Amino acid sequence: MKLKRYRVPAFPFIQLTGLFFWLANLIRNFDRADYAKRFPKPILVLHGTDDRVCPIEEGKALANAAPNATFVPIEGGRHNQLHEQEPKQYAQALENFFKTIVKT
């Protein structure tokens, strides 16, 4: 095993890997839309249009389920680093959202 090469004991890493995959399955089955329905505060959903990990339809469903959500698709955005991929659109979406929730 490669762990031995680096003098890292297999225990507890092998067990933790199994735990990780078990937890990942729980997260995958977590109904975000159901939770969003019950969340009364404003929600901003920024979602990349080219997200291959979590399809944009899931972001739309989350925003549609929430009673007070704003959905902003980030054109060409992938799963992570939306703030780096489209910094102007990302910053504008945050600014607009904060203007709606901050009382002056």
Q: Tell me the β-bridge partners of 48.
A: 74
How confident is the model at residue 31, as a pLDDT?
76
**Which pLDDT tens digit goes with each residue over 7-44?**
655 556 556 666 666 666 656 666 778 888 998 999 99
Specify the pTM: 0.68
Rg (CA), the chain: 19
**Which pLDDT tens digit goes with each residue over 12-22?**
655 666 666 66
**Widest pairwise Cα distance in the chain:** 60
Residue 5 has pLDDT above 80, yes or no: no
Tokens coding 90: 């990302």
Q: Tell me the β-bridge partners of 47.
A: 73
Q: Which helix (H) or strand (E) holds 63?
A: helix 56-65
